Amino acid sequence: MPHPPAVEAVDLVKTYGKGNRAVHALRGITFHVAPGTVFGVLGPNGAGKSTTVRILSTLAAPDAGHASVAGLDVRRAPDAVRRALGYVSQRPGFDPMATGRENLMLQARLQAVPARQARRRTQELLGRFDLLEAADRLCRTWSGGMQRKLDVAMGLVHDPRVLFLDEPTTGLDPQARRELWDEIARLARNEQVSVLLTTHYLEEADQLADHLLIIDDGRIVAQGTPQALKAALGSDTVRLELPDRGQAERARAALGALPGVSGALADETAVSARVADGVDALPGVLAALRRAGVRAGSVAVASPSLDDVYLHHAGRRFRETVPDVPTASTPGSTAASASTTAPTSGGGGREQVQA
């Protein structure tokens, strides 16, 4: 790696309580965050996400292991670590009875930002998060999305190089979530802020994280780029809808005979098979169908989703563990015969072509 990591965690262990009441929040977690990237920590409730962030922010001490932020050891140099990072807690951190501007100014002064600089930074952050219009209204009158943006802005008042966001978008509607995603991505891309965010939204992890750590029950389940994690599962699914009943078996045999195709299955009006790369395999699949005299109504290619990744490594579906995952990211949604659909986020990326 050309630069030292923005965050390094090595063998972090944390247990709350003792004896048969002990809760093993972290059982040995190791990762590093490359500078200027968005690092996602994805896990169901109780996985250990907040514990990880609290240790990195010096708010909790690990029982074993060590961690550093911006090259500073969290145990040996906690004050310097706190100056280097911005921390946005899972719970709201603003004062509802103060205005947005007052909240930002107070936070800046708590971070020892000089008054004139604090005023300038407050104005700049209000503008950047699109909060200027409401800036001088009490925050209790703000929408949930505006309030969460204020929390994130408050984490940035002292211009930290590393930002920890603990579930920044939980409970937000899809549009507010997307606005916050844009701002978080911009922080990393344009300002080289290193962002570590926790989430239990598959879609958020998939869209936003350059690198992803999936944790469950205090352990790492998998880590890598979202693309690599999905690609490591090794297979896409190709699904053909057949307008003429009775052609399915012929289509299945034609597909099954192709090199690189496995698990070809037919029902009355559709055939599906697994291939390493669906888009690469499509021309061969379509040619084989033509040779066999089969007419396909539509062809859909679905790539593995992060839910498939989680299932593969944790042995259960992620959405079985989280009650409020939006249904929009459900993989394997019904294929329509539209000419092209954008890949569905989070759930299986799906591309579709008219055969």
Ligand X SMILES: Nc1ncnc2c1ncn2[C@@H]1O[C@H](COP(=O)(O)OP(=O)(O)OP(=O)(O)O)[C@@H](O)[C@H]1O
Task: List contacts with ligand X (CB under 6 A).
Answer: 16-17, 23, 25, 43, 45-51, 90, 200
Which of ligand X, Mg ion, none has residue 45 at its interface (CB below 5 to 8 Å by kind)?
ligand X
As a whole number of angstroms, the distance between CA 352 and CA 355 comes to: 9
Task: Give the count of beta carbons closer than 10 Å to the beta carbon of residue 97.
Answer: 10
Nearest to ligand X of 49, 252 (CB atom): 49
Element (H, E) at 288: helix 278-291
The nearer residue to ligand X, 92 or 256, going by C-beta atoms, is: 92
Binding residue (CB under 5 A) for Mg ion from 41, 48, 50, 107: 50
As measured in angstroms, the least distance from the Cβ of 325 to ligand X is 12
Placement of tokens 């190791």 in the chain? 30
Taking CB atoms, the residue at the shortest distance from Mg ion is: 50
Give least dist CB 310 to ligand X, A: 14
CB of 314 to ligand X, least distance (A): 14
**Closer of 41 and 251 to ligand X (Cβ):** 41
Binding mask 63-92 for Mg ion (x = CB under 5 A): ---------------------------x--
Contacted entry of ligand X, Mg ion, none for residue 48, CB cut-off 5 to 8 Å set by kind:
ligand X
Least CB distance to ligand X at residue 55 (A): 9
DSSP state letters, 147-185: HHHHHHHHTTTT--SEEEEESTTTT--HHHHHHHHHHHH
| Mask for 89-128, x = binds Mg ion (CB under 5 A) | -x--------------------------------------
Q: Which residues of 105-123 are buried (b: 16+ CB within 10 A; e: fewer)?
A: bbbbeebebeeeebeebbe
- The answer to whether the CB of 297 falls within 8 A of the CB of 355 is yes
Regarding 199 and contact with Mg ion (CB under 5 A), the answer is no
Q: Select 199 or 298, whichever has its Cβ closest to ligand X.
A: 199
Number of residues that bind Mg ion (CB under 5 A): 3
Strand residue runs (E) in the chain? 7-16, 23-33, 38-42, 64-69, 72-73, 85-88, 162-166, 194-199, 211-216, 219-224, 236-241, 261-266, 270-275, 298-302, 350-354
Question: Which CB sits closer to ligand X, 166 or 206?
Answer: 166
Minimum distance from CB of 23 to ligand X (Å)?
5
| Residue 14, beta-bridge partner list | 26
Distance CA 284, CA 277 (A): 12
**Cα–Cα distance between 7 and 341 in angstroms, integer?**
38
Cα 183 to Cα 315: distance, rounded to the nearest angstrom: 34
Give min distance, CB of 22 to ligand X, in A: 9
What minimum distance in Å lies between the beta carbon of 209 and ligand X?
A: 16
Q: Please give the residue ranges that form the binding site for Mg ion (CB under 5 A).
A: 49-50, 90
